[in-house]
Chains A and B, each alone.
Chain A
Amino acid sequence: MSTRIKRRSGAYYRAMRRVRQIALGCVTALLLFYVLFPYYWAIVSSTKQGAQLYESVLLPALDFRHYKELFRDANFATSIFNSLCVAISTTALSLGLGTLAAYALGRLNFPERRSLLLTVLMISIFPQVVVLSGMFELIRWFGLYNRVWSLVFAYLIFTLPFTTWVLTSFIREFPRELEEAAIMDGCSHWRILTSILLPLMGPALVSTGLLAFILAWNEFLFALTFTLTEGSRTVPVAIGLLAGNSRYEYPFGPIMAASVTVTLPLIALVLFFQRKIVAGLTAGAVKG
């Protein structure tokens, strides 16, 4: 008798599937809570004043005084402007130089190619602190100390290897047949890049550019070291150095308002371009 395979009714399997669905749903809800609650809590806290802040009520108080103060604060506006300038310039430069190099590294055959790719990869894992002293000296020589442009210069050390590497793996994905006719006709490599590949590279450039932008927008170590006064700070440094008069007056309300403000555009970008960002992130790592 025991050798007979036990047969179960359809109702049993339906019930099992139900249990499984419910369990998965619970785990998913837990995951969403873990991932999203901190940002929700920042929003809630940013709309509370004084004693309300210390009562841990889970609903927002919808008092936007912190935001009003924040936007009246000239220093905060300046640091947002600085961050935008730095992140946009760095991204544009890295995409331009990266595309040029990626075309050669992805398409052309020349003996130095392999070692160059390896060097680019090695530089992208450089600990930033290693170049800190040399970079500091260089920036002072150029008279860029305490100016936001010093950061555009410094950020190229991590954005340029990144864009080069990711764009190279994107370019390799394109079918070679695209350019073969052009090569036969004796087209220059510059023409091939600008007239054939570039029009197709829109999505790849968006993916890579977004990631470079986020990297530059979020950077902290260089920004902290190469700027000194409030007028040349970027957003992460401004928030990092926001502090009260004493340990007991820590201004969590204003800090949360600032945090929510600077994160909102990033989250909007990420959600809007979700697929592009994932494509860019994985192009470098998995396919590369």
Chain B
Amino acid sequence: MKTRLERREHRSGLLFVAPLIAVLILVAGWPLARTLYFSLTDAYLDDSANHVLVGFSNFVEVAGDPVWWRAVRNTLIFTTISVAIETVLGLAIALLVHQAIPGRGLVRAAILVPWAMPVVVSTKIWEWMLNDQFGVVNRAIVGLGFADHGVAWTANGSLLLGVVIFIDVWMTTPFMVLLILAGLQILPEEIFEAAEVDGIPWWKRLWSITLPLLAPTIGVAVLFRVLDALRMFDLAYVLAGANVNAMTMSIYARDRLINNQELGVGSAASTMVFLLIAFVAIFIVGALRLDRSGATER
């Protein structure tokens, strides 16, 4: 039996979330449904109303395109390596900043700078610094005697993905640092004091106490970063356009959709991006057993 108060609460609850639901249906639900629908048609962008259903042939076309698989490969390499580096580096910096170091406040503020910069701006700055002839990085390499002549960082196709990873590490490690630092700050101080008094070496304290206690925080941070990296678009696009050496899945889908005007094929590629990311998300959440809303309900 529901009481009057419960019914009132139910009604108010629905009323308060109604605008949210309406907007989400409009900006997320409907466009997603249309993308799924278009992926089954032969529509073109300039005249999208004029189309027929063609079944799964768009998916067959994308799956048969070596460029698509190159984009998938790039995206997976980019995600794995950049998130791995960001996690290790983020952990190291967070542990450093957690110590009583000189100028701690300054460091904590400075770390936010790369994070707050627009991706486009960071990319442009690094592109200039890595310029093969006049970039300051090559000047430093030659000037310090590491090499006779500079490296063609952005012009050399085989280095391009590495450069993208390098820039991404610079941009997003701060995010990792902030999350891990917040996790470090809520750990009970006494455990570490006790371990220190017992004379346990620092690496053992790190491995057996800090890391296990931090694992949930790191798990959430890695989940966010992986999902974000899998949909990456702006960094690689600004640096290399639709160059296959750095093309991500999102760039491929947008290229088919907007530049080639192939609404059907582009939607099919987008749908495949969606499925892949959903699959990875389910996999990671399952691996971490991180039912977040369940955890807060406890």
Spell out A's residues near B (CB within 8 Å). Answer: 21, 24-25, 27-28, 31-32, 34-36, 38-39, 41-42, 45, 53-54, 56, 97-98, 100-101, 103-105, 108-114, 116-121, 123, 125-138, 153-154, 156-157, 160-161, 164, 169, 172, 188-189, 193, 214, 217-218, 220-221, 224-225, 235-237, 239-240, 252, 255-256, 259, 262-263, 266-267, 269-271, 274, 277-278, 281-282, 285-286, 288
Contacts and interface: CB of A to CB of B under 8 A. Distances in A.
A70 to B, nearest CB: 14
Given A24-B102, A127-B230, A220-B237, 13 more contacts: A24-B99, A32-B106, A41-B129, A110-B9, A120-B24, A127-B273, A128-B233, A133-B38, A134-B32, A138-B30, A160-B24, A220-B234, A288-B296
Contact of A31 (B107, B128, B297): B107
A97 B19 contact: yes
A57 to B, nearest CB: 10
B125 A39 contact: yes
A105 B18 CA distance: 12
Contacts of A270: 109, 112-113, 115-116
A160 B25 CA distance: 12
Most buried by B among A25, A118, A129, A217: A129
Interface residues of B, number: 97
A237 B120 CA distance: 8
7 contacts: A104-B17, A127-B270, A130-B35, A135-B31, A218-B118, A256-B124, A256-B125
A28 B178 CA distance: 16
B205 interface: no
Contacts of B183: 286
Which label, helix, strand, loop or mixed, suits the secondary structure of the B interface? helix
Contacts of B103: 28, 32
Interface of B: 6, 9-10, 12-17, 19-21, 23-24, 26-28, 30-35, 38, 45, 48, 93, 96, 99, 101-103, 106-122, 124-126, 128-129, 131, 133-134, 136, 139, 170, 174-175, 178-179, 182-183, 186, 217, 220-221, 224, 227, 230-231, 233-234, 237-238, 249-250, 253-254, 257-258, 263, 266-267, 270-271, 273-274, 277, 281, 292-293, 296-297
